[in-house]
Chains A and B, each alone.
Chain A
Amino acid sequence: MGLGFDIAHMLAGLMVLASLLLLYQDRLTALINVLRLHGFILALAVAWQAHIQSAPELFVSAAIALLVKALVIPGALDRIVERLGIHRNVETVGGIGLTMFAGMALVALSLRVMLPVTAAADPVSRQDIALALSVVLIGLLIMVTRRNALGQVAGFLSLENGIDLAAAGARGMPLVVELSVAFSVLIAFIVIGIFLFRIRERFDTIDLAALESFRGERR
C-alpha cells in the first residue's frame, strides 16, 4: 500500500491545489496555462492509477487525458483567445479572498461528505473520490464566480477533469465509459468553441453581463 497510496494521494492533492490555483487566476493566458497544468496532473494521476490497479487500459485513458486535456483543448483555447481578440482580464464576482475561502470550505465539505460514506471502500478509491469531488465543486465555484464566458469554460473543463479522476479512482471502471466521457468532453469543447465565436460575433464581447440583459422577458 504505502508508496502507491502516497503517490496517488499526492497527485490527487496536486489536482485540488491546481483547481484552487485556477480559482485564483484573473488573466486569461494564466488561466489557460493552469488548465494545461490541471490536465497534465490528471494524466499523471490516471497513469499512476493504471499502474497500481494493474489495469493497462487506463494507460489509454491517461494518454487521452494528456493529449486532449493538456494539449489540444488549452491550445485551441489559446487560439480562440487570439482570434477573438478580447480583453485579457477576467472579472470575478466577489473578492478573491472570499472566493478562495469558499474554495477551501468546499474542499472541507466534500471530505466531510465523502469520507464517512465511503468507509467500506478501498482506501485509494476513497481518497480519490473525496478529492475528485472537491475538484468538481471547485470547478462549479469557478463557473459561478466568473463573468467571462472563457472563465466559465475553464471551470467546466476542470469539473470534467475532476470526474475523470473519480472514474479512474473507481477500481475496475470499464474503459468504454472513460473513453466515451473523454469523447463527450471533446465534443462539448467543439460546441463551446463554436459558441464563443457566435457570442463574440453577436455581442462583441464575451463578458456574460452583456448576455444577461437578453435573459428571459426583460423587454
Chain B
Amino acid sequence: MIALIAVLGVPIAAAFMLALIAGYRLSARINGLASFLSFAGSLLLLIHRPAPNVLFLVDDLNVVFIVLNSFVGFTTSLFSAGYIGHELESGKLTAGYLRFYHAMFQLMLFGMNLALVAANIGLMWVAVELATLSTVMMVGIYRTHEAIEAAWKYFILGSVGIALALFGTILVYLAAHPVIGEAGAGMRWTTLLAHASRFDPALLDTAFVFLLIGYGTKIGLVPMHAWLPDAHAEGPTPISAVLSGLLLNVALYALLRFKILLAACPGAIAPGPLMIALGLVSTLLAALMLYRRRDIKRLFAYSSIEQMGIIVFSFGVAGPLGNLAGLLQMTMHSLTKSAIFFSVGHVAQVKGTQRIAEMGGLTESHPLLGWTLVAGVIAIAGLPPFGVFTSEFLVVSSSFSRAPLLTAFLVLGLLLSFGALLRHLGGIAFGPVRGETAPARAASAPIFAHLALVLTAGLWLPPPLVAWFRHAASLLG
C-alpha cells in the first residue's frame, strides 16, 4: 500500500507543489527527489505486491515496467536538472516556463504509473490520455515555428488515436456486458480475463482493430507514426527521452493487455498477423528513413519507430520465446534509447545545433560525450555485447522457426538500420571536428547507469529477472 502511494501519490503531489515553486534550482531538486521516491516505491512493489483491488493491479506483467518506468523517470529527472539549467542560461527557456515544465513532468510520470497499475480498462485509458496531454504541452515549450507545428500535430494525431482507443474500450465493455453483467466489474482486467472465453468474438475482433489503431498511434506504428519524429526533434531532450523510453512502452503495454484478452477468446481472430504486418512495415520504413536524416534527434526518433516495429513484430509472432524476446527488447530499448537521448541532448547543447552536418569529430572534441554516444549507438544498432543484441537475436530466432520469410524481411530491416546508424555515427563521432568545441558540463551519471545496465544484461541476465519475464511471457499467450 505504501508502495502504491509512493508510486502514484508522490508524483501527483509533486506536480502540484512544483506548479507553485518559482525557483529553478529548488524545483529541479524536488523533481529529482520525487522521482527518486517513486522509484523507491516501485522497488518496494517488487518485494511486496498489494492484493488486486477494484482500482489497482500489480502482477508479473506490469511490475517490471513499473520499476523500469520509475527508474528511467528518475534518471531523466537527474539529466533534466542539468540540461534545463543550461537551456535557461542560453536563453532558450525562461524561468516562468520551468514551473510549468516540472509540474508537467511529474504529472506525466503520474499518468504513466497510473496506466501501468490500473486494474480497470477505463482508468488505464484515462491515465494514458493524461500522460499524452502533459507531454503535448511540453513538446511545444520552445515556441518556435517548428515546435508549435510538432506539438499541434502530436496533439491532433494523439487525440484521434486515443479517441479510437476509447471506442475500442467501449466495444470491449459491450462484448463483456452480456456475460458479466454487473457495472463496475465489467471493466476490470481480472474479471474480463476470467470470462473472456464467452465474449462475442466478432465484437471483440472489431474492438481489437480499434485498439490496435488507437494505441498503435501512440506506439508510433506506421502509418500512424507521423507525429513521432517531429515531437522528438522539437521538444526538449528530456521529453524526447521520456517519450521514446517510456510513453511508447506504456502504450504497448496497454495493447498487450488487450492482446491477452483476445487470446483468451477462442473464436476471435488471431491478433498475430495484424501485429506482425504493422511491425514489419514500421521496421522497414523506419530503417529506410534513417538514411537521409539531417537532424540528430529525428534520426533517433526513427530508430525508436523501428525498434517498436521489431517489438510489435515479436509479440505478433508470440509463443513463449517470442513474447520473452519482446519483453526483453522493450526493456533494453527503453534504457538504451533514453541513454542515447541523454548524450544527444548534451551534444546538441554543446554544439549549439541539432543538424548532423554541423557536428563532427565528437570523440576528439568531447571524448566523454563522444564515446558514450558511440557506445549507445552501438548498443541500439544491435551489436554484442550489449543487451539489445541478445533480445534481437531472440526475436529473430523465435520468429524464424514460425515464419522464416517474414523473419528474412525483419533481418533486412535490422541490417538497413544498422548500416544507417553506423554511417551517421561515423560522421558525428569520428572524422574532422566540426562545430563548437567549448567544454561540456554533462551529467554523465545517468548515461553510464543505463549503459551499464544494458551491458550487464547483455552479458548476464539475473535469473529472477528471467523468471519474471518468462512468467509474463506465458501470460501473454
Residue of A132, A140, A149, A173 near B160 (CB, 8 A) is A140
Q: Provide the residues of chain A in CB contact with B156, threshold 8 Å.
A: 143, 152, 156
Q: Which residues of chain B from 301 to 347 have a CB within 8 Å of any chain A CB? A: none
**19 A-B contacts (beta carbon < 8 Å):** A129-B170, A133-B167, A159-B160, A166-B167, A172-B177, A172-B181, A172-B182, A172-B183, A174-B122, A176-B123, A177-B122, A184-B130, A188-B133, A188-B155, A191-B155, A194-B137, A198-B148, A199-B148, A211-B145
Binary per-residue interface labels of chain A (161-191) against chain B in the complex, 1 for a CB within 8 Å, 0 otherwise: 0010011001111101100110010011001
A82 within 8 A of B: no
Q: Given known contacts A117-B203, A120-B200, A191-B155, is B163 in contact with A163 (CB within 8 Å)?
A: yes
Q: Given known contacts A217-B295, A217-B298, is B174 in contact with A170 (CB within 8 Å)?
A: yes
Q: Provide the residues of chain B in CB contact with A97, threshold 8 Å.
A: none
B202 within 8 A of A: yes
> How many Å lie between the Cα of A188 and that of B293 in the bound state?
32
Contact: A211 with B149, CB < 8 Å? yes
Q: Provide the residues of chain B in CB contact with A191, threshold 8 Å.
A: 133, 136-137, 155
B236 within 8 A of A: no
> How many Å lie between the Cα of A117 and that of B170 in the bound state?
14
Q: Provide the residues of chain A in CB contact with B125, threshold 8 Å.
A: 177
B441 within 8 A of A: no
Q: Is the interface of A mostly helix, strand, loop or mixed?
A: helix
Binary per-residue interface labels of chain A (16-47) against chain B in the complex, 1 for a CB within 8 Å, 0 otherwise: 00000000000000000000000000000000
B146 within 8 A of A: yes
Q: Given known contacts A181-B126, A191-B136, is B174 in contact with A118 (CB within 8 Å)?
A: yes
Binary per-residue interface labels of chain B (40-56) against chain A in the complex, 1 for a CB within 8 Å, 0 otherwise: 00000000000000000
Give the 6 A-B CB pairs with smallest separation, nearest first. A177-B122, A180-B126, A211-B149, A214-B145, A172-B183, A214-B149
Nearest B residue to A121 by beta-carbon distance?
B174
B381 within 8 A of A: no
A113 within 8 A of B: yes
**Most chain A beta-carbon contacts within 10 A, residue among B203, B229, B294:** B203
Residue of A167, A180, A187 near B170 (CB, 8 A) is A167
Contact: B133 with A176, CB < 8 Å? no
Contact: A173 with B173, CB < 8 Å? yes
Contact: B202 with A116, CB < 8 Å? yes
B471 within 8 A of A: no
| B265 → A minimal CB distance (Å) | 14
> How many Å lie between the Cα of A45 and that of B327 in the bound state?
44
| A159 → B minimal CB distance (Å) | 5
> How many Å lie between the Cα of A65 and that of B325 in the bound state?
45
With contacts A174-B183, A191-B133 known, what are 5 further pairs, Cβ within 8 A?
A117-B202, A125-B174, A149-B152, A177-B123, A181-B166
> How many Å lie between the Cα of A216 and that of B159 in the bound state?
20
Nearest B residue to A175 by beta-carbon distance?
B183
Q: Provide the residues of chain A in CB contact with B152, threshold 8 Å.
A: 149, 195, 199, 211
B→A interface (CB under 8 Å): 122-123, 125-126, 129-130, 133, 136-137, 140, 143-146, 148-149, 151-153, 155-156, 159-160, 163-164, 166-167, 170-171, 173-174, 177-178, 181-184, 186-187, 200, 202-203, 205-206, 229-230, 293-295, 298
> How many Å lie between the Cα of A118 and that of B173 in the bound state?
12
> How many Å lie between the Cα of A180 and that of B163 in the bound state?
13
Q: How large is the interface on A (under 10, 10 to 19, 20 to 34, 35 or more residues)?
A: 35 or more
Q: Is the interface of B mostly helix, strand, loop or mixed?
A: helix
Contact: B171 with A129, CB < 8 Å? yes
Contact: A170 with B133, CB < 8 Å? no
Q: Given known contacts A166-B170, A172-B177, is B206 in contact with A113 (CB within 8 Å)?
A: yes
Contact: A202 with B143, CB < 8 Å? yes
Contact: B186 with A121, CB < 8 Å? no
Residue of A121, A188, A212 near B159 (CB, 8 A) is A188
A114 within 8 A of B: yes
A83 within 8 A of B: no
Nearest B residue to A180 by beta-carbon distance?
B126
> How many Å lie between the Cα of A156 and that of B159 in the bound state?
8
Contact: B160 with A217, CB < 8 Å? no
Q: Provide the residues of chain B in CB contact with A117, threshold 8 Å.
A: 200, 202-203, 205-206
Q: Given known contacts A118-B174, A170-B177, is B229 in contact with A195 (CB within 8 Å)?
A: no
Nearest A residue to B166 by beta-carbon distance?
A163
Contact: A156 with B170, CB < 8 Å? no
Q: Provide the residues of chain B in CB contact with A159, threshold 8 Å.
A: 160, 163
Residue of B122, B177, B182, B295 near A180 (CB, 8 A) is B122
Binary per-residue interface labels of chain A (109-143) against chain B in the complex, 1 for a CB within 8 Å, 0 otherwise: 00001101111110001000100110010001001
Q: Given known contacts A170-B170, A174-B184, A214-B146, is B163 in contact with A195 (CB within 8 Å)?
A: no
> How many Å lie between the Cα of A212 and that of B156 in the bound state?
14
Q: Given known contacts A173-B170, A214-B145, is B163 in contact with A120 (CB within 8 Å)?
A: no
A207 within 8 A of B: no
> How many Å lie between the Cα of A185 and that of B298 in the bound state?
30
| B403 → A minimal CB distance (Å) | 29
> How many Å lie between the Cα of A16 and that of B145 in the bound state?
37
> How many Å lie between the Cα of A171 and that of B146 in the bound state?
45
Q: Given known contacts A202-B143, A215-B230, is B122 in contact with A176 (CB within 8 Å)?
A: yes
Contact: B149 with A215, CB < 8 Å? yes
A101 within 8 A of B: no
**Most chain A beta-carbon contacts within 10 A, residue among B148, B170, B229:** B170
